[in-house]
Amino acid sequence: MQAESFLSACGTAGHPVKSAHADAADVAREPERVATPRVTWVMSAVAVGRIPNTKTGHSQIMAGVVWGIGMALHEETVMDQRFGRIMNANIAEYHNPVNADIHDIDVIFVEEQDERINKLGVMGRGEIGMVGLRPSPAASLP
């Protein structure tokens, strides 16, 4: 109820104010290393309103895609089955993807000018590049 009244006060009720995106990934398995999937191509289409700086925006989405690949292929959450506690909740076990893990990444912006969102017409694009990518490699496996 508070969100609806906030959106009404801003003049954006019934109007999208959040960023949107879609990801597609091509995942292959190397014959000699059956258990190691590789993300060979990623396409990330994002709608984040007006893009003030295309180069910065493109780099920001690409960084999110690399983060998503790392989360999908290199990380594991270990749970304590008795207490439901995450046992590896620290940065020491975080595995970053290296250059050999990252292949082709295409970023497509669906740019739209919409001043109902704010005067600049921009939406957040902070971590949106990685959100949908985490399940994409698993869904793409043959």
Which residue spans within the chain are E strands per DSSP? 20-30, 33-47, 79-80, 85-86, 104-109
Active-site residue flag, 127: yes
Query: In the beta sheet, which residues pair with residue 23?
Result: 44
Cα 29 from Cα 68, distance rounded (Å):
18
What is the Cα–Cα distance from 40 to 12, expressed in whole angstroms?
40
Task: Exactly one of 30, 76, 112, 127 is catalytic; name it.
Answer: 127
CA dist 43 and 31 (Å) reads 24
Which sequence positions are flagged as catalytic?
127
